[in-house]
Structure 1
């Protein structure tokens, strides 16, 4: 009897979520995550980029500024273990190509940013996002690590704001403490008009401050 009662003890003794509990499902689209009113308030050009599945789209532009702190350089090196999700260099006016496959209308979307470097070299970072029925928008970082994202809308901008990091393996799900995570990530897609948009990214750690910052302007390349 004592052994049977022991088996009924909660497994989450330390308050750390270890499994994915059943939760209500969510609309797996950007419009569903934002809500109709916020979605319709966005600039039509932003809605067009994120509203439907695109087999392949390519954008061309220049990263006007790419900065890393010493801690950011360490983070960029670590990210290479998970598939290179952060550019390890710094500089200004770096020509950059963005390729998108399987856009927002799909359960998954894959982004590649290629930074064109001197002597014909390039460095490509990868970003895979999933529209999850339970957790909303997730960015898959590799090796089972995911970043949970919240969407926020302004008329001329769509914001992607991290709300936490987790490690997942099958049904197992362990939330990372803020101090052990890469930091708060904030990505902004801002419409500039004339088919152009501004991309900005910042990563801020609670102990080490701003680790990474990027900002550049892009337009769609004709096929």
Structure 2
């Protein structure tokens, strides 16, 4: 796990910066309760602050950035194309140097968050990825991708970074939650949120299959909203 997307330092992207104004209030984070006692407090204050923000009613928290790395194996590309059937939750191309935006809104019922990610392309319309994070299930956090398909996530920390690690995939159909057998899973998913200083952070996605190796590796850099 520690070897996935673990090559980032504050100096590597020192010259990069992009800003967008969108101040938001801060509250108690539900993410903190998903970590063992003491681990949340040991994360950088900037990381904790991002996940403690609460979007006001009718408002959103928006981070602007840029895709800086993307590798997709042929098996990963085929998987991403097949996943179009449930809303294309995986990167469809290898474009880098293109703009990226993440927009987060709160579930009014207080059960989670809605995430919308927009990734530009060198040609054509941008790719829009939408999902819903809910604080429920056996791991305490689930991400719904579309058409009843979701992934249970475990939170952990590594090298001052917050990691979302895939535990298992599931299908919710007619109110029944069916867990996928491990051999049917598309691979081990690790999403890394790591602060690199100056109000910037790395968002890295890795998907590694036990037989086919690395399927996807994408890195985007984002900047915190400018606050008064």
Q: 1:211 to 1:190 in 2, by over 3 A?
A: same
Alignment of 1:152-171 (within 5 A): 152-154=156-158, 156-171=160-175
- When structure 1 is superposed on structure 2, of 195-204 and 130-139 the one drifting more is 130-139
Are 2:73 and 1:33 equivalent residues in the alignment? no
- When structure 1 is superposed on structure 2, of 28-37 and 88-97 the one drifting more is 28-37
Separation in structure 2 between the aligned mates of residue 135 and residue 156 of structure 1, nearest angstrom: 21
Residue 84 of structure 1 aligns with which residue?
88
Alignment of 1:139-218 (within 5 A): 139-154=143-158, 156-218=160-222
SS, match of residue 141 in structure 1: strand
* TM score, norm. by length of structure 1: 0.80
> Unaligned 5+ residue runs, structure 1?
1-27
Are 2:65 and 1:71 equivalent residues in the alignment? no
* TM score, norm. by length of structure 2: 0.78
Separation in structure 2 between the aligned mates of residue 118 and residue 89 of structure 1, nearest angstrom: 10
SS, match of residue 113 in structure 2: strand
Are 2:101 and 1:100 equivalent residues in the alignment? no
Measured after TM superposition, the shift of residue 121 of structure 1 is: 2.5
Measured after TM superposition, the shift of residue 106 of structure 1 is: 3.5
SS, match of residue 132 in structure 1: coil
Are 2:62 and 1:61 equivalent residues in the alignment? no
Q: Is the 8 A contact 2:131 2:146 kept in 1?
A: no
Residue 26 of structure 2 aligns with which residue?
none
Which structure has greater helix proportion? 1
SS, match of residue 38 in structure 2: helix
- When structure 1 is superposed on structure 2, of 136-145 and 168-177 the one drifting more is 168-177
Separation in structure 1 between the aligned mates of residue 71 and residue 156 of structure 2, nearest angstrom: 25
SS, match of residue 148 in structure 1: strand
Q: Is the 8 A contact 2:95 2:121 kept in 1?
A: no
Separation in structure 2 between the aligned mates of residue 135 and residue 125 of structure 1, nearest angstrom: 23
Alignment root-mean-square deviation, CA: 2.2
Q: Is the 8 A contact 1:53 1:106 kept in 2?
A: no
Q: Is the 8 A contact 1:179 1:207 kept in 2?
A: no
Q: Is the 8 A contact 1:63 1:93 kept in 2?
A: yes
Q: Is the 8 A contact 2:137 2:152 kept in 1?
A: no
Q: Is the 8 A contact 2:95 2:122 kept in 1?
A: no
Residue 51 of structure 1 aligns with which residue?
52
For residues 48-86 of structure 1, the C-alpha deviation after alignment (integer angstroms, 9 at most, x for no partner) is 111242241111111111121111111111221111211
Residue correspondences, number: 195
SS, match of residue 215 in structure 2: strand
